[in-house]
Amino acid sequence: MTTIHFYNCGLMKNILERIWKRPEVEAGPPPARGVSAPVQSAQQEAPLPPPQARNNYLLIILDSCRYDALMAAAPRTLRRLGEIECRWSYASWTAPSHFNLLMGLLPHSSPQNVYASEYYKRDFLKYQERLGADQVEFKSLVPQLFLPTFLKRKLGYQTHAMVSLPVLNPATILNKDFDSFTLMPKHNDMMAMLERMTFSPDRPSFYLLNVGETHYPYALPDETEEQWPKIHGVHGVFKHLDDLVVGGKLKEEEEGPGRFFDQEKMDLLRARQVEAVRYLDGVFEQLFDKVPPNTYITVTADHGELFGEEGYFGHGPINHDKVYEVPFLEGKLR
């Protein structure tokens, strides 16, 4: 029987050998919400190389934002970056999707009649334009296969992350080779991220922004929690995940009125996400005014969202086109 390999076997062997020899990373205590936490690593003491890129690079993730919800919002400011494409996320949930994004794998266009390896090669070449750097290829990220490490250790970037969702908090494995990694005080306040952003005149900056206004409950910063919609089994899901576990077994909840969602409520939630995008379009206007020249910006989503289609709501353990369908646009303003 013949086994077909879609990857360069010699390259993968080289990657694995170098990974096995990587230095140990020391983990610190989990930081609180609103606190910046730089990664603690033996590599941190190594001097950074002289800057090798011309552009600052912002990767902005509108968490859970559906492509059609963004299009329904008809954003004017965002369109200044370029054409809004419909692309596909590699994952249906926040944490694995962000890991892919930080590997440099942005949402894909699902091309036909193309080997995955060929698509990756072309996709990574786009980083030459994004970063204003020469000779950026997939192999440039070997062996770590992690974009912040490559940007900091090889191109001399300052690296920063500001995230809204606790599942991405600074104690997770995503916090590697970041100069700062902040879980924001509020899950739905992109404007507060802008207030924290600074750009060095000496080195290019990379920012990962995980924006929470488009994530359930699709709340704007000036809304009180009492104004948020409440969906049974969704609100505070991780906080209360073990509440029904008794003696190692799952206690079944009684079904009652309102136990499951109805389409009228789903339509209201979708309208809230559309309104969140309209609000964020105004925040992007202020962001575009703030960033210095030679700043390249990519705006996309980590995954989509289901609003009642075929009996689904939300994202995660769902196999449906709308949970993978995301908006994608990018460009440099000046």
Give domain 53-221+261-332's CATH number out of 3.10.20.30, 3.40.720.10, 2.60.40.10, 3.30.70.2390.
Answer: 3.40.720.10
Average pLDDT rounded to a whole number, residues 133-160: 92
Top-confidence residue, 307 or 60: 60
The pLDDT value given to residue 334? 85
Q: Is the pLDDT of residue 24 over 80?
A: no
The pLDDT value given to residue 315? 81
User: pLDDT by residue (tens digit) across 69-92?
Assistant: 999 999 999 999 999 999 999 999
Lowest mean pLDDT among 66-70, 140-144, 313-317: 313-317
Q: Is the Cβ–Cβ distance between 273 and 71 less than 8 Å? A: no
The full length of the chain comes to 334
Average pLDDT rounded to a whole number, residues 90-111: 96
User: pLDDT by residue (tens digit) across 163-191?
Assistant: 999 999 999 999 999 999 999 999 999 99
Q: Is the pLDDT of residue 275 over 80?
A: yes
Average pLDDT rounded to a whole number, residues 192-216: 97
Whole-angstrom CA distances from 59 to 162, 206, 208, 328 are 11, 8, 5, 11
Could you count the other beta carbons within 10 Å of the beta carbon of residue 294?
16
The pLDDT value given to residue 47? 87
Could you count the other beta carbons within 10 Å of the beta carbon of residue 58?
21
The pLDDT value given to residue 263? 85
Q: Is the Cβ–Cβ distance between 264 and 252 less than 8 Å? A: no
Highest mean pLDDT among 93-107, 222-236, 243-257: 93-107
Q: Is the Cβ–Cβ distance between 296 and 129 less than 8 Å? A: yes
H-helix segments, the chain: 9-20, 67-73, 94-102, 116-125, 127-131, 147-153, 190-196, 263-290, 321-324
Task: Tell me the whole-structure pTM to 2 decimals.
Answer: 0.83
- Mean pLDDT over the full length of the chain: 84
Q: Is the pLDDT of residue 100 over 90?
A: yes
**Residue 252 banded pLDDT, cuts 50, 70, 90:** low
**Residue 248 banded pLDDT, cuts 50, 70, 90:** low
Q: Is the pLDDT of residue 23 over 60?
A: no
User: pLDDT by residue (tens digit) across 283-319?
Assistant: 999 999 999 999 999 999 999 999 888 887 888 888 8
**Cα distance between residue 89 and residue 84, in whole Å:** 15
Q: Is the Cβ–Cβ distance between 323 and 315 less than 8 Å? A: yes
The pLDDT value given to residue 140? 87
